[in-house]
Amino acid sequence: MNSINPLLREVDERTLYLMGLGDWQAFHAANMKVESVFEAAARWSTALQGVDRPWLVWNAHDDWCLVQQRLVEAAGWTPVVGFDPRVGAPPVTAKAIPVNFNETLRLPFMAPHFVLEFLFLFADRLAFWHSDLLIPIAKMRELAARFDALKPGEVMATSLFRPLRFWRKPRRYWELVGCSTREASRDQFERGAGWWSYIHAHVNCRASAERERREKKVYWDHGAGIKYWHDEYGGKVIGIPVDSVDRGHFSPVTYPNLYKRLPEGNRNRNLRSQLDATVGVVAACDKMGISYADLMRD
């Protein structure tokens, strides 16, 4: 594994974690340059040449990652496997495309949000989901067909508008599972309203009045920019109802009795430790009606 980028050695751990998560405020605090990401994305593009239906699978735990790769293949798409640098590259199936998205940037942490912001630089379309999400094969195939039917400029994303967690007006689309197109991603980036958090600090949000408006109006979290793009700029977002997929999200949000949240003082989340601490992937598959044995059979 590469050592940390020497340009970032003086940046505090918390800022580096947030930047790797996809946080525009942290990006500026670390004095990171967007040109560095563009240069890195040129390699991502080369790795994905000729892949028609790429689906991003992000390794936070080797066992879960292999299951997700098999599910993506069962849906007729190609797993594109990135990874949390703290965990490392996982075993991959024969059909999967491993990509070290962090090869040149050399961040101590990188989440899939980081990559999603720059989709327009490396793929015509890209499906994505959380590392701790399992979806039965029939539902995977249904989603894959909808992703395949997306027109240039369209996005599908999970609609996280439940009163349980959010009140008043809906505040964001969620990257739990979805798919985006190159044209939509480019327009989002140019308008400064994409997947990263704190879009008032986006490199393409330059007008002071607009920055102030966003800071007051827009929810801070990932995906709030996608909703803003939809609401303010007429971007086409097709919602996936959260209730149709969240039963397979093995996290404290969906299964508070299975998982304990990290103490508030420790916000550098380690998903591998969380998954190891509770239900294993075989039991999770069983809970979702997925035959682990059949799925993993060559």
The pLDDT confidence band at residue 264, using thresholds 50, 70 and 90, is very low
Q: What gap in Å lies between CA 30 and CA 46, rounded to an integer?
A: 28
Q: Cα-atom radius of gyration of the chain, to the nearest Å? A: 18
pLDDT digits (tens, 9 = 90+) for 68-117: 999 999 999 999 999 999 999 999 999 999 999 999 999 999 999 999 99
Residue 123 has pLDDT above 50, yes or no: yes
What confidence score (pLDDT) does residue 274 get?
Answer: 66
How many CA atoms lie less than 13 Å away from 129 in the CB half-sphere? 28
pLDDT on residue 168: 45
For residue 259, pLDDT beyond 50:
yes
Name the token pair of 275.
């998954």
pLDDT for 166: 45
The model carries a pTM of: 0.91
The tokens describing 212, both together, are 């102030």
